[in-house]
Amino acid sequence: MSQKLLFGFHAVSVRLKTAPQSVREIYADMTRHDQRMRRFLEQAANAGVRIIESDAARLEKMAKTHRHQGVVAAVEELTQTKSLDDLLDAVEGPPLLLVLDSVTDPHNLGACLRVADGAGAHAVIAPKDHAVGINATVAKVASGAADTVPYFMVTNLARTLGELKERNIWCVGTSDDASQSLYEADLKMPLALVLGAEGPGMRQLTRKSCDLLVSIPMKGAVESLNVSVASGICLYEALRQRS
């Protein structure tokens, strides 16, 4: 089984909680003696994971960033046990999906996964050739949500949207030039919210595959929002309506 690195307290702690058997070893900066590190090391010890004492320079080299918080873990890749079809077959109530088109920045994807987890989205979907995969930076920014929210990378996004519509899942895209506001749309139905990257937005074929386009009202000087912020607004509006 392939191995990857996770770094940061949230990402590693969630993996210890959800799949401790997949954590091979943890490299920790033992010069940190604060309560947060002590609690983390206690969690790792309770899970039976080997701790390797390391310094900040080694951890920065492993994580390729100084934002590792003194913790880097070598973990096994978790295999996705369900296909998208299997997941949708098991959903109780109306599905809530987040579809990301052309989102290639790992920080944006990580933030989108975190928002999707918070709003209770059942999965995040992205195209294989216009998206970033799950890497250590995504996992760090997602604060554990990379392990809790299913992330499906599909070969043909337009075809996948068509298959969702065959399941009576309404595909609602966001666009600055849409005539209808997000807050005027009925989001209580089985729903896939489709968002593009900041700037270029959705690709034309993705846009044409949507059942409805809505806009997020902008009252200030800026023309658009970061995709993770827009995802949060859309998902939580759907959650508000469903509640």
Residue 51, strand partner residues: 26
Asked if residue 133 lies in contact with residue 153, where contact means CB atoms within 8 angstroms, the answer is yes
Flag whether pLDDT at 142 surpasses 60: yes
pLDDT of residue 222: 82
pLDDT band at 172 (very low <50, low <70, confident <90, very high): very high
pLDDT of residue 157: 97
Residue 153, strand partner residues: 126
pLDDT of residue 2: 66
pLDDT of residue 199: 74
pLDDT in tens, 39-50: 999 999 999 999
Nearest in space to 18 (alpha carbons), one of 47, 48, 52: 47
Helix (H) or strand (E) holding 213: strand 212-215
For residue 154, report the phi and psi dihedrals to the nearest 5 degrees: -110, 155
pLDDT in tens, 100-115: 999 999 999 999 999 9
pLDDT band at 141 (very low <50, low <70, confident <90, very high): very high
pLDDT of residue 81: 65
Residue positions forming the annotated binding site for S-adenosyl-L-methionine:
196, 216, 225
C-alpha torsion 169→130→134→153, nearest 10: 40
Flag whether pLDDT at 98 surpasses 70: yes
pLDDT of residue 41: 95
pLDDT in tens, 7-23: 999 899 989 998 899 99
pLDDT in tens, 216-235: 999 888 878 999 999 999 99
pLDDT of residue 61: 93
How much is the average pLDDT of 124-139?
92
CA distances from residue 110 to 118, 145, 179, 203, 237 in whole angstroms, order as listed: 13, 8, 30, 21, 20
- pLDDT more than 70, % of the chain: 98
Residue positions forming the annotated binding site:
196, 216, 225
Flag whether pLDDT at 201 surpasses 90: no
Flag whether pLDDT at 79 surpasses 80: no
Task: Round the average pLDDT of the chain to a whole number and report it.
Answer: 93
- pLDDT more than 90, % of the chain: 80
Edge to edge, the sheet with strand 180-181 lists 151-154, 123-127, 96-101, 191-196, 170-174, 212-215, 180-181
Q: Which domains does the chain have, with CATH numbers?
A: 3-76 (3.30.1330.30), 84-242 (3.40.1280.10)
